[in-house]
Amino acid sequence: MLDLKASAIVLLASVQTVLGSPTRSIDNDLLVKTSLFSVQGIAWPNSSEEVRFFGAIPYAEPPTGTGRFWPPITKEPVNETIDGSWFGPSCIQYSTGAKTVYTEYVSGFLLTPGQQQSEDCLTLNVWAPRANTSASATPLPVMIWIHGGGFTSGGSASPYKYGDRLARDQNVIVVAINYRLNIFGFPNAAALDGSHLNPGLEDQRRAVEWTYDNIQSFGGNPDQMILFGHGMSVDKYNYAYWTDPIVKGFIAQSGTADGIALGDPTGSNFTYVASQVGCVSDGKDDEFACMQKANASDIIAVYNTYNATENGGQSLSFSPTPDNYTSFSNNTDRAARGLFAKLPTILSQVNNEGASLVPYDPAGPNQTAVDAFTRSLATCPIARGALARKNYVTPIYRTRYFGTWPNLNPLPWLGAYHSSDIPMIFGTSDLRGPDTEVEAKLSKYYQSAWAAFARDPEHGLETFGWPLYDPNGETLIKLGVGNATQAVLGQGDEFDEGC
């Protein structure tokens, strides 16, 4: 049951690891011309050639050299064909080597085995139903996925998040993006003078803009795009670009703009790393210029090997910092004033978020700590975000996932842990073994709901009987409760005590 080689997804990852990339096809519908270049894709392996895949598509220039730590640079046209037969390198990852639930038991949430890392990582990937290739075909809805990972790690090349099944089964275009992480995406350097402190978030915007400009070439409708993703990014985008969101709706899973965040108001973390790679300077501009020339591997090694105990208990972290452009310190005030996109939104979480995020203990964590983490990460921020939208008559749905399954829950105490809803949405829950009958039906229901929202954010979920959020009504959409394969409704504020 747990034989990894039984999974077509892991088999695909193994092929890539051994051979470099799957065999390329030269069928005409796999060569797509965009406004900047052409892309040669493949028929996604193990999909009966029903899905086209175009990977490693650059949506910006490489953020290297003098481009390091700055906002993404617009991609220039080139007279060449991009090899889209596999994912491009993932952005440089933060990793201490510590054991987690994910490294020990459910590595399908991590990068694909053998996946390379590089600073030159600003690429996106497209999965498109192959039947939708004729000139007369109706352009399809587009679902743009932003991966989570606490802004420190993660990427679009991750087996549980492959978009082929969602694209095929729901007849949508799935786009998955990379963006800069940790110090490379969130440097908060003193030389930036409080402006553009989060180039990683600006990468996300540039990817959405590129998709809007070019997705029609892949069969997608640029005027029918939604943003969905894991963590805080989707909601941060909502607040940052509320007057010009480009997309038509949002699905934010397990995080909002005012969730847990670490701060470094003085920029001292950047200066510390600079000092460790030989960029000691009395001037902030000289320090910054030196760091742009420093070896990227040396930079991330400082972060990966940092020991707070040996440094007076001082933490070292790089995450979104308020710059009043991409991230804000006053989100509660902005929510109260309605400074967010008035577009249909789903705010979603899982029931036991903290189980896989608190310090790992094979025997199981302290449930009180898990519950506190769940409230602070998701429950309370989502309650605030949902109420703000209701107050401004913005279509808002609130969901909570409870599912536990043999192939997704290797430890009995995990419950519905952080990210465990992702395989249900992408249809990849059979990575570690076959789905149960109920699990498979619920996954189809989940997929159908997300796709219905993508097709029509305003009214698509009415056919599912999902009510708009009201804390005082039966409006909490509970998924994966018991043996239910569809939504079960609960009181809107059922889990909000303590918020």
The CATH number given to whatever domain includes residue 245 is 3.40.50.1820
- Residue 312 pLDDT greater than 70, yes or no: yes
> 218 falls in which pLDDT band (50, 70, 90)?
very high
Which long-range contacts does 303-307 make (Cβ < 8 Å, 24+ apart)? Answer: 303/94, 303/182, 303/183, 303/273, 304/94, 304/95, 304/96, 304/97, 305/96
Residue 498 counted as domain residue: no
For 298, the 3-state DSSP assignment is: helix
Residue 415 counted as domain residue: yes
370/293 same-domain check: no
Q: What is the pLDDT of residues 437-467, one digit of tens each?
A: 999 999 999 999 999 999 999 999 999 999 9
pLDDT value for 48: 78
Residue type at position 343: L
- Residue 115 pLDDT greater than 70, yes or no: yes
> 28 falls in which pLDDT band (50, 70, 90)?
confident
Of 264 and 354, which is predicted with more confidence?
354
Beta bridge partners of 31: 40
409/449 same-domain check: yes
pLDDT value for 10: 41
- Residue 6 pLDDT greater than 60, yes or no: no
Residue ranges of alpha helices (H) inside 125-218 are 164-170, 182-185, 199-214
pLDDT value for 367: 97
Out of 311, 344, 379, a domain closes at 311
Mean pLDDT of the chain: 93
> 296 falls in which pLDDT band (50, 70, 90)?
very high
Q: What is the pLDDT of residues 194-211, one digit of tens each?
A: 999 999 999 999 999 999
155/199 same-domain check: yes
Give the integer Cα–Cα distance in Å for 430 and 227.
25
399 in Cβ contact with 350 (< 8 Å): no
- Residue 9 pLDDT greater than 90, yes or no: no
Residue 445 counted as domain residue: yes
- Residue 16 pLDDT greater than 50, yes or no: no
In this prediction, residues 281-287 reach a mean pLDDT of 93
Residue 368 counted as domain residue: yes
Q: Note down the domain range covering 127.
A: 4-260+319-491
306/448 same-domain check: no
pLDDT value for 262: 65
119/188 same-domain check: yes
Out of 311, 327, 342, a domain closes at 311
Q: What is the pLDDT of residues 398-418, one digit of tens each?
A: 999 999 999 999 999 999 999
The tokens of 37 are what? 């270049």
250/276 same-domain check: no
Q: What is the pLDDT of residues 119-131, one digit of tens each?
A: 999 999 999 999 7
369/343 same-domain check: yes
pLDDT value for 27: 58
- Residue 474 pLDDT greater than 50, yes or no: yes
> 24 falls in which pLDDT band (50, 70, 90)?
very low
253/338 same-domain check: yes
Residue ranges of alpha helices (H) inside 153-198 are 164-170, 182-185
- Residue 360 pLDDT greater than 80, yes or no: yes
116/14 same-domain check: yes
Residue 499 counted as domain residue: no
Domain count, the chain: 2
**How many C-beta atoms lie closer than 10 Å to residue 415's C-beta?**
21
pLDDT value for 47: 77
> 14 falls in which pLDDT band (50, 70, 90)?
very low
pLDDT value for 267: 80
Residue 497 counted as domain residue: no
Among candidate residues 96, 90, 162, 152, the one with its CA nearest the CA of residue 120: 90
239/92 same-domain check: yes
Residue 496 counted as domain residue: no
> With b meaning 16 or more CB within 10 Å and e meaning fewer, what string describes 338-359?
ebbbebbbbbbbbbbbbbbbbe
Residue 478 counted as domain residue: yes
371/273 same-domain check: no
323/305 same-domain check: no
399 in Cβ contact with 477 (< 8 Å): yes
**How many C-beta atoms lie closer than 10 Å to residue 26's C-beta?**
8
105 in Cβ contact with 175 (< 8 Å): no
In this prediction, residues 340-368 reach a mean pLDDT of 97
In this prediction, residues 278-292 reach a mean pLDDT of 95
- Residue 275 pLDDT greater than 90, yes or no: yes
> 3 falls in which pLDDT band (50, 70, 90)?
very low
The tokens of 56 are what? 């490693």
Out of 248, 280, 311, a domain closes at 311
